[in-house]
Structure 1
Amino acid sequence: MRYSASHKLETKEKLLQSSAVSAKKAGFSTVGVDGLMKAIGLSGAAFYSHFTSKDQLFASIVERELSQSLERLGADQDCDKLERCLKQYLSMAHVEHPESGCALPTLGAEIARSDVLVREEAQVWICRLQESWAKILQSDSLAWAILSQCVGALVVARMLASTDIQRTVLQSSHDEIGRQIAGRHQPICK
């Protein structure tokens, strides 16, 4: 039985969405094609009508997730919106629910181990986010530092077992970012 083009697109979208959640929750390399397809109620053989390889699926997930992160975290922001965004990013909800948050802390190591095409795709979106923050902060280096600190703080917090220490890491990072912004760009952000 042949399916319509819209059915194929809907299935591909379900696969992307389900695989992204799975990857952010447990890592992309931990689940095979059969498991990814089973999660959306299809057989593993159907996978190859949507993607030529698991690597191609990962590249699509990286593009999709990082473009969504840019929509949430970048562009059309001012310092107040950036502050709210950073507070939400550096939150216990983000620590506890990696599947609904930014892909960088969860997939960063896998992206780093991927082929150059995946890393180049990630670079495009990460640079766009950094550029949007640099416009707000009027500093390329401060935007890179804050972006790196946010991702790193989330990774460290997720590695810890104690919620009290997790909260301390997040709050310390948020406070330090606030000092960095206030110290270098007081007229812009405060």
Structure 2
Amino acid sequence: MRYSANHKLETQEKLLQSSALSAKRSGFSTVGVDGLMKAIGLSGAAFYSHFSSKDALFTAIVERELGQSLERLGGQEGQDRERLERCLKHYLSMAHVEQPESGCALPALGAEIARSDIQVREQAQMWICRLQDSWAQILGSDSLAWSILSQCVGALVVARMLATPDVQRKVLESSRDEIGRQISRQP
């Protein structure tokens, strides 16, 4: 059977999308190549026609997911403080806690990125610095942008670690309140 010219690209896109969802839900290292390929209906042997290694797939996932996070959280020109505050409110929400696969990759994959090779960490650094820079331009403060970015990711990680929704909500509300105070102090 002959495949269309776009078949390889379409399959690679399915693999990236499926693997990213799986990684954000359960971790990347928990699933082998066979499991990743089975999720899209192919054998493990087909994997290597799309990526040279599982690490290469992880690098592509990090680039894709952090690029999407930048688009959602701050990549638009002319973004204002009001829009940023709405994004942060959504980021620090129970929906984001309960659905890691549809949210930012940093809280879900941060520990795995930190343990990855330099190429993955450099890729993550590039996207994180771009996000921080866009927030710094809006907020007028480089350090405040780093602080808020770190607090958002940390709050989401802590909330996901907790067992009860009531305590998770307290973590999120406390973080939203503190970030709101920090932003309101900026001119």
TM-score range, shorter chain: over 0.9
- Percent of residue pairs bearing the same amino acid type: 81
Report the Cα distance in structure 2 between the residues aligned to 1:4 and 1:134, rounded to whole angstroms.
45
Residue number in structure 2 paired with 1:118: 120
1:74-89 matches, cutoff 5 A: 74-76=74-76, 77-89=79-91
Cα deviation, 1:60-80, whole Å, max 9, x if unaligned, reads 000000000000001332111
Where does the alignment leave 5 or more consecutive residues of structure 1 unmatched?
none
What's the offset of the Cα at 1:181? 1.0
Query: Match for 2:145 among 143, 146, 154?
Result: 143
Report the Cα distance in structure 1 between the residues aligned to 2:96 and 2:168, rounded to whole angstroms.
11
What's the offset of the Cα at 1:182? 1.1
Residue number in structure 1 paired with 2:131: 129
- 1:5 is paired with a residue of what secondary structure? coil
Residue number in structure 1 paired with 2:70: 70
Tell me which moved more, 28-37 or 67-76. Answer: 67-76
Question: One-letter code of the match for 1:181?
Answer: I
Residue number in structure 1 paired with 2:9: 9
- 2:181 is paired with a residue of what secondary structure? helix
1:152 aligns with 2:174: no
Query: Match for 1:171 among 163, 173, 182?
Result: 173
Question: One-letter code of the match for 1:24?
Answer: K
Residue number in structure 1 paired with 2:46: 46
Residue number in structure 1 paired with 2:59: 59
What's the offset of the Cα at 1:84? 0.4
What's the offset of the Cα at 1:2? 4.5
Report the Cα distance in structure 1 between the residues aligned to 2:47 and 2:2, rounded to whole angstroms.
15
Where does the alignment leave 5 or more consecutive residues of structure 2 unmatched?
none
Residue number in structure 1 paired with 2:25: 25
Tell me which moved more, 58-67 or 71-80. Answer: 71-80
CA RMSD of aligned residues (A): 0.8
Residue number in structure 2 paired with 1:105: 107
Report the Cα distance in structure 2 between the residues aligned to 1:75 and 1:39, rounded to whole angstroms.
31
